[in-house]
Every structure is written in C-alpha cells, then in structure tokens.
Amino acid sequence: MRSSPGRVSPLKAQATEPDSTSIRGGGKMNRAISRALLTIAVIVPLNVAAPTSVAAALSVASPILIQEAPQEKPDSTSVDSIPTFILNPINVTATRSLKQLFFTAAPVSVVGSDRIVAERPNNAAEMIRRIPGVDVNGVGANQQRPIIRGQRGQRILLLEDGLRMNNARRQADFGELPSIVDVNQLDRIEVVRGPASVLYGSDAIGGVVNMISSETPVLSEGDVIGGSANFSYRTAGEQLWPAIDVFGRQGKVGYRASASFRDTEDYRSASGTFGDVTLENDVTVSGSGVRDQNYSFLVDYAVGEYQKVYAKFDYYKAEDAGFGFVANEDLGLDGGVAINIQYPDQTVTKLKAGYQALGINLPFADRIDASLFFMDNERDFIFDVNIPFGSPGTGVFVNQQNFTDLQTFGLRLETAKLFGGKHVLTYGLDYYHDDSENTDRSETVVIPFPGAPVNPMADDTPTIPFSTYDKFGVFAQADLEISDRAALIVGARWQNFKATPQATPGLDELPGTASENTVVVAANGLVKIAPNLNLVGTVGRGFRAPNLVELFFNGAAPEGNGFQIANPDLEPETSWNVDAGLKYRRSNGAVEAFYFRTRLEDGIRISATGDSVGPFPAFQSINVDKLILKGIELLAEVQPVESVTLGATYTWLDGDDEENDQNNPTSETYSSRITGEATYRQPSGRWWAQVQIRHNGEQKDAESVTGSLVGEVLPSFTVMHARAGVKLFDHGRMSHSIVLGVENLTDQLYAEFSNATFFRPAPKRTLLVSWATSF
C-alpha cells in the first residue's frame, strides 16, 4: 500500500509546517486554529497517516535525532517521497501535546521509524544510545536497558504509548526491559532527559523513554490493506530475526497485526586489551543469547474523524536469556569466584483498551484520552555462585531460584481544555495496582576438602511476601503563551503510594504496610531571542517511590555475604533539577546545547546496620544518599549539500556523593563522549550509505568501584559502524530493499562502562544483512 501525502488532513499539515512568527510554531493557517490544533491534539490522532516500515530503510533519517518526523513515514515503495531537507520533528511525551522539538521547553529527542528500519536494533535502548546524556546497561539482544544522565534502573521511567512499564518487583538498578516491546513495530521513540514526575509520577527522575507504537491506517484513506515483512541476520550470535506486519481499514474498523521471532546464540567478543584485561583470542560472552517472540494485534473503531475506541493485545516470551559473563578461564582467573545469572523464561501479556477524542468542545475538555491497562509479567530467575577454596572441586556452591508473577491493572484519564484563546490546561489522574506473588528456593553446598560428603542445605522461605502496590496520582499542567516570544508551562502532581504485604505461604510474620504521599512541581519556559534561536529553561522536582524489593526483602543476600532486613519505613527518593539551554535551527541545520544540574536527596542505598542475623552481618535499605549530578549536552546536524547530512553530539557528565567523597555516582557511565555521523543519499534515491563513530573518554572515577578487573580507570575507546541500503526493485504494489551493515568495524575489544566492572565486552565485528518488502 502506498501512503498518500496528498491526503494529509489540516491537523497533520499544521503539525509539520513551522511558522517563525509564533512561539508555538504554527503553520500558515489562522493562528488561533493553529494553537488549538497543536495543543489539544490527541496523542495519536486518527488522521495520522498509516505507518509503513520498509522504505524508511531506503533513505536514512537525519543523524542526530533532533530532526526526524515521526508523524509521517515515507512511502514504502518510493524514496522520492522522502524530503531532502531537514524536518521539524514532533513529540508528545514532554508536554502531552503535539509539539515541534524546536518549540518544546525541555531537552527531548525523537528517533523515527526510518532509523529503526535502517539500523535494525535489537531493542529500543540500543536505538537511543547516541542521544547526548544517554547510555546503555546490559549486554545481548534482550537485556539492554537505558541510562540517562548517569541514572538507571528504577530511576528511568519506561513507557509504551504513554503507559508505564516499570516493574515494582525489580531491583533498583535493573528496570524493566525495553525488549518486551517489539522495536520493529514502533513508530518512534521519544526520550525526555531529566525529571517528568508531574506528568508521569514515580520513577521519572533521570528521564523518560516513551516507545510509541505504529497505528492503523487513516480513516480518510477509505478501505485499504497493506503490510511489510523483513528478515535480518547478524553474525553476532548467528542471529536470525523474521518479522511481519499487516494493517488495514474496512470502513470504520482499522486493524494492525504483527509478529516476530528472534533466535540469538551467545556472541563472541574481539581479542585485544581493554584496561587491565587482555584477551589473546575471541571469547564467548555466555548468557548473551536469547530466543524470544513478539505478537501484537490492534483494532479500533472510528466513532468520527477525531474520535475512536480501540483495543490492543500484546504477547512477549523470552527464553534462555542471561546477565552475561566471560568464563574465568578466558580471563586468566582460574580458581576465581564464578557468578552466573540466568533468566530461563519471561512471559509478558498485555491488554489495553481506550477512548480518544479531539475537538469535542465540551465545557471541561476539548481533548480526552482514557486508557485501561492490564499486564501479567512472569519471570524465572536463577543465581549461581561458586566460591572456590583452592583445591579442585572444593568451595561453596550457592544456587538461588526465584519465580515472580506481577499482575498490573492501570488506568489513565487525561483531558485538555483550551482557554483564553491561546492557553491549554492539561489535567487528569492515573492509578496502578500491582499484585505480586513469588516463590523462592535456595540451596547451598559446602565442600571443605576433596571427597567430603555433600550435604545440600535447602531453604524455601520466600524473601519477599506476596504484596499489593497501589499508586494513585492527580496532576494538572498549564501551557501558557505569555507573548509571541515567550511561553511558560507550569504543573503539579499529588501522588500516593501504598505497599501492603499479603498472607504468604512459608512466612509466619509480615512486615508492616508502607504508605507515603508526595507533591511535585515543575516549570518550563521558552523565550524566542531571535527568529531561529530559542532560550529554554526548566526547574522541577522528581521522585521515585521505593519498590517492593527495597521495602520488603528479608533474607540472605544472593552472594552469601550478608542478610538483608526489610524496611517498610523507607521514604521516596526526591530530586530537584535545573536545565538551561539553547535551540537553534535553520533550513539546513539545527543545534541544541543544554546544561543540567540535579540534586537527589533521600537516595536509597543498602547499608550495614552494625547488627548480625545468625552468622551474617545485617544490611538494610535506608534513605541516605545525597547526590549532585551535572552535565553538558550538545548536538548538531547540518546538510551542507542536498545529498549529504553530517551530525555530531558531545556529552560531559560528573557527579558527587555528599555522603561518600570516594564515590562518584556517574562512575559506571562515561564522563565524556563524542559521536559523529555522515550520511550520503544518492540524488535519485536508489541507495544511501552511512558511517557512524563514537568515542568514550576514559572514566577516572571508576576507582570508587571495587573489584573491577579492568582497573581503577575505565579506558577510552572508539567504535565505528558502517551501513548502506539499496532499493532492489518494484513489482506491482510490492517493493523490495536490502540493508547491509558492519558493526564494530575495527573489531575493537571494549565494554560499555556500566558493563566493565563485571566485565562483559561488546560483540566483535558483526555483519548485518536485512531484507525487507512492503505490499
């Protein structure tokens, strides 16, 4: 199916034509209509063109992620429809209204589906790595998670279509996996750097990653059917990855169905030297593979041109994933402690239903977005540790197994009302109820000398009680146009959370209920100081409610070196953040520069209590950390001639721990990083080629992380990637293309800094081949 640029509705046309005379960036329509349409637009309006997923690979998006246009994907059968000028991207996550990034008073970036198709990333976290201030934790196709401004895990909020994916049953350093959402079916990924707790509640301290799904075709297109299929192969892990997507509309009923299956073995890293680690040969990174599958079905009914009801089903299953490790023998550490963390099975089922309406002109709302949400997230976890005594076959062998079933029911009601002819009030509520059940089993074997009798010590006592976790919040935000040159956004949220232990087999005593209220506020301002230059400032308070592990975990630490005690009296972590920046653009280029400073208080940390539980020293999660995080984020792109696009980013990060002068809270991410990208598009649109380069400066503060094999300084590294795409042929409605890529072009041995202390290097030089067709 070919998309129809000529059928773009007024709302869509308005969102893509900037007006240099207005701070909101309206088009050539009447300014009052412009303001209303841009600010009360639904999150995914019915008149957005049907997304396609193939031809995007035929013309690579602009490089640095501040210029992609998520609202309109290219024609799947012709690269001629791809604009050769730099676009003006639209985002919704930062303010809950469709806005061009240039007019958004926040540091936000957008990755469009054209880049996703061209690069074939394993997951959304891998796709956003080049955004300034963003890093990745974890290895393999399944286990990568985002880091934003030195914060990771539960301090980053993961969203799908504006609904939270974070998991209260995960440890603080390990948030939910972006992989549970199929990256092949995303329309775009929006990243907000810095807190967004007013709009989204708990966890949005470091930033927000919103994965926005592709939609059904436009109502005005009439009866249509189309789709795409692709098959990718990577030499890293001998990965095989087919995927298919079918969409259509029959009258008022739209539908979209997709499926993908991925089979990836453990990959091998390159030989070489990285800090104090030297590998004479390529080595296997065990636990880096996965077999997973993703299925999705969406159906909607158009009540009118700007109203619809919809329902969506998603299913994800992953098998044989792991945390990743290199065998001691390969590291030259015969006789060392061996740790193997495995995730044998994870199954996630999601159901969502909702109602969206635009332009309804009610006394209390011009836009309504209501959603109901259910997720069942089941996961098996195995932790194996071997502590040798010296003689072969002797030592302490610990095996811990955990099964967790977390069921989440949620709802979100959001409305927006235009007032005063140019201001917008967005307000609403959200509620999430988690119901967590789990089983635990621990088995310990001690063999003090060769030939000693084996007497396993088993314990089935749950480490966390069955629990419910309720989060309820109300929020309001006013988007005020102060003048043609100035805009101000102010907002506030009241939030309550309550975690309640439930009767649990194997537990006679339960910890107390945890309950807290908090209020957060934020203000964002934008001033146009020149026709193409905006000054941006933000100040806001963020928070993160403690999770079930921090509140209720009561048992021996997995490593066997201590006993952790529950603490239901934990308070939320809070932060104050300030951003100051400039946004500049012209017809063939754009530049952004931001400085930020975040102060995090009541940070939750596991600390020794000074007591003992049996033979073990006692530990407990407490509110103690006071962290200062600061940084500079720069990004720029330019199109010097019609066929060439150049881009670059620079990031500097630093941090201080006021409670521990020896600890830098950003020590497990880069302190400085530079990226660059050059893209050439053949004028006729037949083919494109691209080179990317990334340089991480050394991290000298790694000395605060004890036990690192790499050494007290994480060394700098430079990695390069090259890609090219070509349109093969058209046959009737079908179009065929191919993408070729070489990742880690120079076959460099390196590890992302968050993966370096427990050394898990990146894949060796990798060949990517991806074939795609649309119909």
* pLDDT > 90 in the chain, percent: 65
CB within 8 Å of 247: residues ≥ 6 apart: 50, 51, 214, 216, 217, 225, 226, 227, 254, 255, 256, 257
d(CA 567, CA 634): 41
CB within 8 Å of 11: residues ≥ 6 apart: 37, 41, 45, 47, 358
Least confident of 95-104, 141-150, 228-237, 545-554: 95-104
d(CA 703, CA 12): 52
CB of 748 within 8 A of CB of 270?
yes
pLDDT of 81: 31
pLDDT in tens, 545-587: 999 999 999 987 765 567 889 999 999 999 999 999 999 998 8
d(CA 593, CA 190): 18
**Type of residue numbered 303:** V
pLDDT of 16: 32
Q: What distance lies between CA 53 and its chain's CA centroid?
A: 20
pLDDT of 75: 37
pLDDT of 707: 64
Tell me whether residue 298 is exposed, middle or buried, using C-beta atoms within 10 angstroms of its C-beta: 0 to 12, 13 to 18, 19 or more.
buried
Q: Please list the residues that pair with 591 across neighbouring strands.
A: 584, 636
Instruction: Using the CB atoms, write b or e for 625-634: b if 16+ within 10 Å.
Output: bebebbbbbb
d(CA 674, CA 191): 19
- Domain positions in the chain: 5-774
pLDDT in tens, 307-346: 999 999 999 999 999 999 999 999 988 878 899 999 999 9
pTM: 0.88
Instruction: Using the CB atoms, write b or e for 401-430: b if 16+ within 10 Å.
Output: bbebbbbbebebbbbbbbeeebbbbbbbeb
Q: What is the largest CA-CA distance in the chain?
A: 87
Tokens 């150049």, residue located? 646
Please report the sign of the dihedral spanned by the C-alpha atoms of residue 299, residue 302, residue 307, residue 309.
negative
Question: Right CATH number for 5-774 from 2.40.170.20, 1.10.3720.10, 3.40.50.2030, 2.30.40.10?
Answer: 2.40.170.20
d(CA 513, CA 644): 60
Q: Is pLDDT of 733 > 90?
A: no
Could you give the dihedral angle defined by the CA atoms of residues 13, 16, 17 and 18, in that order, rounded to the nearest 10 degrees? 150
Mean pLDDT, range 719-748, rounded to an integer: 94
Among the listed residues 521, 524, 568, the one whose alpha carbon sits nearest the alpha carbon of residue 543: 521
- By DSSP bridging, strand 268-269 and strand 283-284 are antiparallel
Torsion region of 183: left, alpha or beta (phi above 0 gives left; psi -120 to 50 gives alpha): alpha
d(CA 494, CA 44): 27
pLDDT in tens, 228-259: 999 999 999 999 999 999 999 999 999 999 99
CB within 8 Å of 32: residues ≥ 6 apart: 421, 422
Which run of H or E residues covers position 12? helix 10-16
pLDDT of 625: 78
Please report the sign of the dihedral spanned by the C-alpha atoms of residue 612, residue 616, residue 622, residue 625.
positive
pLDDT in tens, 439-484: 999 998 998 888 888 888 899 999 999 999 999 999 999 999 999 9
Least confident of 66-70, 186-190, 316-320: 66-70
